[in-house]
């Protein structure tokens, strides 16, 4: 099993400001209810068939609602050579801090 890199919301915000990709692995109804601005929606269940949409040579942030599904997606991506970072606390933490949500 690969080591999973994790970071918090403030690190995610810094990554976004650097232009790094954010992948939201929640289900469509969750994503549509509000997500981190600019996040690409790729549900956990389809990560293996949509990996070509994920940048491989740059940090990619993986987020869900709380950090559980994104941890699994991050572990999978890391095993396949991606520079993936799990977002601890997920969209829930992003919302709690009061950062903007895109719908």
Q: Residue 76 corresponds to which tokens in the numbers above? A: 């999978």
Catalytic residue among 12, 22, 47, 64: 64
Instruction: List residues bridging with 101 in a β-sheet.
Output: none
Within 10 angstroms of residue 40's Cβ, the number of other Cβ atoms is 16
State yes or no: is 7 an active-site residue: no
Q: Residue 63 corresponds to which tokens in the numbers above? A: 């987020």
Give the span between the Cα atoms of 19 and 2, in whole angstroms.
25
Active site residues: 64
């Amino acid at each position: 099993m690969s080591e999973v890199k994790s970071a918090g919301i403030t690190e995610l915000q810094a990554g976004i400001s650097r232009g790094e990709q954010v992948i939201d692995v929640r289900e469509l109804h969750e994503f549509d209810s509000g997500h981190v601005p600019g996040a690409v929606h790729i549900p956990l269940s389809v990560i293996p068939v949509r990996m070509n949409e994920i940048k491989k040579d740059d940090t990619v942030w993986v987020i869900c609602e709380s950090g559980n599904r994104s941890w699994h997606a991050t572990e999978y991506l890391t095993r396949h050579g991606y520079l993936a970072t799990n977002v601890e606390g997920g969209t829930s933490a992003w919302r709690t801090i009061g950062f903007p949500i895109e719908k």
